[in-house]
Each structure stands twice: as structure tokens, then as C-alpha cells.
Amino acid sequence: MRRIVSVVAVAWFAQTAGAQLSAPVHLPSVDDWRQDVDQLVADIRLLHPDPFTKRGTLAFLRDVIAFKDSIPMLSDEQRVVHAMRLVASLGDGHTLLEPDNPRYALWYPIRLYSFADGTFITSAHASVKDLVGGMVLEIGGRPASVALNDARSLIGADNPWAATERTWAIANAGLMKGLGYAAADGSLRVKVRLANGREVERTLQPSRTDNPRFKADDATFEWQYRPEVYGLPFGSDDAWTTTYKGLQASAFSVTDTTRPPFFLDRKPYVARSIPAASAYYVRNNYVTDTDFIPFFQSVLADVDRAKPKHLIIDWRFNIGGDGSKLQYLVRELAKRADTRAWTNLYVLTGPKTFSAAVMAVDAVLDVVHATVVGEPTAAGRNHFGDPTSRPLARTGMRLNVSTLRHQLGSSDDLREFIAVDVPAPMTFAEYANGRDPAVDPILRGDDMRSIPLIAEADGGLAARKVYEDRARRFGGLAWYTPPPEFDLRQACDALREHDRIAEAVETCRLNADVHPDVWNTWYNLATVQRAAGQQKERLASYRCVVAIAPNNWNVPNLKRLLAMPGNEGDDTAPGCPVRKLTQ
């Protein structure tokens, strides 16, 4: 197969260079495509634990038939994007189709990244160095948002936040031709607002893969596993200029402690003690099978000695890796749960946090108290993973397909991401100037703890104040959710166990206000109200339990209590969503 690919590459090079060769570039036939489509469908159905979780089987197979029927009318590039979109429609970030042949080893000289305020060029090749830091307004004569969504439709994603990252097709000349944005020669017209505010239009010419980090004529998306400061798979890292201070991409292969924590470097692992803020910052971009355990052995030894107030573990740029290595970190954190060297533990997440990184975040939250800061993860606790690769030799495509179901949460946990306690979406201006909305507030002393942790430490009134502030600040974010009922309930129970009854009452009252339709909140509130001697309020809370969950196993006993002389009444507690009691 490798020798055949090389022959095709030679033919392509000769043709594009204008050489007069009689042998044309071989393109897959209609029959080749139909056979490979049948093969990829068979592979998906054979290997994937449940490929049609998000799409109905019939809907998917109808699309397969429609695509096979349309193949004779499509160009090779259009066939590729149709096939990729078909696989992406399964909505699984580990299951995707990508080109793997020299016809698609052509890339544009800009690296794009989507921030909270738009899509910008985070790294640009020397040939278009002036575009670095520019906001992309149009691509191929259409709004950038439209082009980016078309590109995202080709790459599978577990949730909408993961999809924001998966714009890789924009970088590929063949795919942009297939999507109808690039010209016949592969050139691509873009409109960019430069850092100085001036808008320019530029025609980008693609270049062939030649970076020695990648295999010759590499057309796969392996380059996207390198962080956003690096360029596409052509030219050396010295040939690419980044947004941050105009540094060359190669500068980020060296740690520089004068830079802000998240810009120290873009190595897989970095750790830095920040004594001035009594903080210790850790970033892990990959869960490698060789370095992960030694790195965290060193980190935890340092943390034990430094005893920082704030331990920050940054998983925002972690795309996954070997999940089996996580056991060490979880075990060591669990050992330190009661005698930890730190006061506050912060776990940072974002739309790149994927696969083994999601497993890591979930495992950490299971064994220690921590606050999640940042943006939603690229997958929920329950997701598919452990993909295997299947070449489709006739068409020069490669199928990656999940082989395992990871159930980290309960079977009915349908949430698409791990909830964020304190949102910290990053704007481009913050990124370009080295400001970090997740780390900087921690370092300057802002209260970034989760609401339940604040309640357990400082009581319900303090927690309510912070909750109301965050609701005002972040309520407009569709993905921001209030603190979980169970976590607030645990905080209330902890306060009661430590005989901090008044604070427990306020915490349970906050829980009932935040989750008024959950019977447990009212039952727990009644329990602490009894301990506080608030008899009238306790009975009103019990009436809420009866009103909300009339078939609950507690209700017969509660009705007998409420019917006792002196306990009669029909008033439920303020905020109870059901005012009329069920008879």
C-alpha cells in the first residue's frame, strides 16, 4: 500500500509542476467508492458498541443509499466530504473518516482557533505572517461562521463544545474544494480583520506536507494534536509566527517562566510553583504511556513540600491518551484527600478536554473535593472511545471507529459534558495578551471555589451571596448550570454533622431555592429545621415533600405527623412549586 501511495504522489507532483507525463493521476472509480462505503458501514456496525445512539439506524442507512446513488455525479473531493459527513453524523468524537492519500496532503498557511468572541488566526506561515492575530470574517466569499460550520460537519463530535474545536477541514485544500469554498486550483479567498483593525482580503495558496514531524504526503489530521501555537504540517516551526508577542512557534518547545502559566510552553507536561500567590500550577496536554506517572510523582512530591493554598490542574488542552495510567493519579489523590497539602483544588476544563482527559477529570472529582473552572468538556461522563483504525484502500480514506463504551456516570446520565462550577470562557484579546480568565482570578485571590465548597466552609449565607453573583454573571451562558442538588445536600449534611446548625439551615434553604422541585431538598431542610427548633418551618417543608412527591415512601409517615393535633395546616414552605396538597 505504501509503494502504491508513493507512485500516486509522484504522478501528482509531476502533474501539478506542469510536467508532460502521459500517465494521469489515478482517481477511485464509482465502484471503488461504493465498495468502500459498504466496507465502512460494515466496520462501524461490527466494531462500534452502539453506533446509532444519536442517529436512528434507518436514517443513517437511508443516507448511505442516497450517497451511493449520487456518487457518479460527484467529483472526487465531493465524494470525500460526503463520506466524511456521513460518518460524522453519528455524533461520536472518536468515530471519524479522514483522507489518507497524497491527493489531500495540501494545507493552507494559517491555523485557526475559535474563541468566545470569534475565530482568529493563532499561527501563520511566514508567507502570510501579517495575518497572524487576525479575525477571520469570510472564507470563500461566505461568512466565516457558515464555512466553519460546514467544516465541523465533516468531523464527529460528542457535543457542541467539542464541535467548536473540530474545524480541521478548513485547513485542507481538497476538502475546501469538496465543500465548494476553494477554487479549482485549490486557492482559497479569505477576508480577515487584522489586529490593527484593517480588513484585508487574501488568496491563500496551499502547500504540500513536508514537515519532518509527519510522514511524507501526510493528509490525515495528525497535526491537530499539536497545540494551536503550531502551524500546519509544512514548513518548520521557525517558519510559523504566533499571536502571543509574535513569537515563533518553536519558542513554545522551550519553557519560559517569564510567560504566564498557560503560555509557559506547549510541552505535554509542565508544572510551576507560584509562591507569591501560594499556588501550584500543573498542565497536562496528553496522557502518555511513558511520562504521565513519573510526571505526577514529581508534581505531588513538590506539592507535598510546598503546601500551596491553591493547586491548579489544567486539563483544558488535554486531548486524551492512555486512560490506564490515570489509576496512579487517582490513588495518590485519594490517599491525600483527608490530609491534603493544598487548601483548594481547581480542575480546569475546556472543549479540548477529551477522551482519557474526561476520564481523568471524572476520577479526580470522585475522590477529592475540587472546583471545575473553565468551559464544558468535549464529552460527557458516558461516551464511546478506544478507537481502532481501518484503512479503506480503494479510496485512500481511513476510518477511525470507537470500540468501547465508557460509562463513568450512572446509566441514566445523559449530560453531554462535565458541569462547570465557575465559567471562564477565553476571549481572543485575553489569549493574545496572556491573560487567563481561569487562572488569573485564582492567583489574585478571587473566590473561585464551587458553591457547595463555599457552603461547607463558610455557611449558607456566604454560599448564597456567591451563587447570586454568579447567576448574574453567567446566567446568559446556555451551558452554565446551578450547583447540583446532591452536592449542596452533602454540604448541608456536613454542616449538621459538625453541629453548625444555623449554617446548615441556610445551606439547605439555598438548596431548596435552587432545586425547588426535588423532594429531597425539602426533606433535608425539614431535618435541619427540626434541629434548629424551627417547628413551624419544619412542618411547612414536610408539606412540600408531600405535595411534590405524593407517592414517596416517606409520605405516609409525614401525613400522620402533619395530621397530629397542633400540626394541622395547609401552608407549604415559601418557594415550594406545588401549593395545593394532594389529598
pLDDT (mean) for 18-42: 79
pLDDT band (50, 70, 90) for residue 25: low
Q: Which class is domain 462-563? A: mainly alpha
Residues 503 and 495 sit within 8 Å (Cβ to Cβ): yes
The 3-class secondary structure across 80-128, one letter per residue, is HHHHHHHHHCCCCCCCEEEECCHHHCEECCEEEEEECCEEEEEEEEHHH
Distance (Å, rounded) from C-alpha 349 to C-alpha 316? 4
Domain boundaries, the chain: 28-248, 254-380+415-444, 462-563
pLDDT band (50, 70, 90) for residue 487: very high
Whether the predicted pLDDT of 8 surpasses 50:
no
Per the structure block, which three cell numbers stand in for 18? 506542469
Q: Give the pLDDT of residue 19.
A: 32
Q: Coil, helix or strand for 142? A: strand
pLDDT band (50, 70, 90) for residue 357: very high
- CATH code given to domain 254-380+415-444: 3.90.226.10
Residue (of 573, 440, 453, 455) closest to 504 by Cα position: 455
pLDDT (mean) for 444-465: 96
CATH 2.30.42.10 fits 28-248, yes or no: yes
Amino acid at 395: T
DSSP-assigned states of every residue in 425-492: PPPHHHHHTT--TTHHHHHTT-----HHHHHHHH-HHHHHHHHHHHHHHHTT-TT--PPPHHHHHHHH
pLDDT in tens, 554-581: 899 999 999 998 887 778 888 888 754 4
Whether the predicted pLDDT of 15 surpasses 70:
no
Q: Give the pLDDT of residue 282.
A: 97
Q: Give the pLDDT of residue 24.
A: 53
Distance (Å, rounded) from C-alpha 123 to C-alpha 129? 8
| Average pLDDT score over the chain | 92
pLDDT (mean) for 146-165: 96
Distance (Å, rounded) from C-alpha 572 to C-alpha 583? 14
Residues 581 and 568 sit within 8 Å (Cβ to Cβ): no
Output the CA angle 15-20-25, nearest 5 degrees. Answer: 35
Q: Coil, helix or strand for 395? A: coil
Percentage with pLDDT > 70 across the chain: 95
Question: Sign (positive/negative) of CA torsion 52, 91, 330, 470?
Answer: negative
pLDDT (mean) for 162-188: 97
Q: Coil, helix or strand for 311? A: strand
Structure letter (DSSP) for residue 222: G
Task: Give the gyration radius of the chain's Cα atoms.
Answer: 28
Percentage with pLDDT > 90 across the chain: 89
Distance (Å, rounded) from C-alpha 310 to C-alpha 545? 40
Least trusted range by pLDDT, from 182-186, 323-327, 350-354:
323-327
Q: Give the pLDDT of residue 411.
A: 82
Strand ordering across the sheet containing 96-99:
96-99, 397-401, 388-392
pLDDT (mean) for 129-155: 97
Q: Give the pLDDT of residue 413.
A: 85
Q: Give the pLDDT of residue 569.
A: 75
Q: Coil, helix or strand for 144? A: helix
pLDDT (mean) for 523-528: 96
Residue with the three cell numbers 467544516: 151
Q: Give the pLDDT of residue 412.
A: 82
pLDDT in tens, 182-230: 999 999 999 999 999 999 999 999 999 999 999 989 999 999 999 999 9
Q: Coil, helix or strand for 281? A: strand
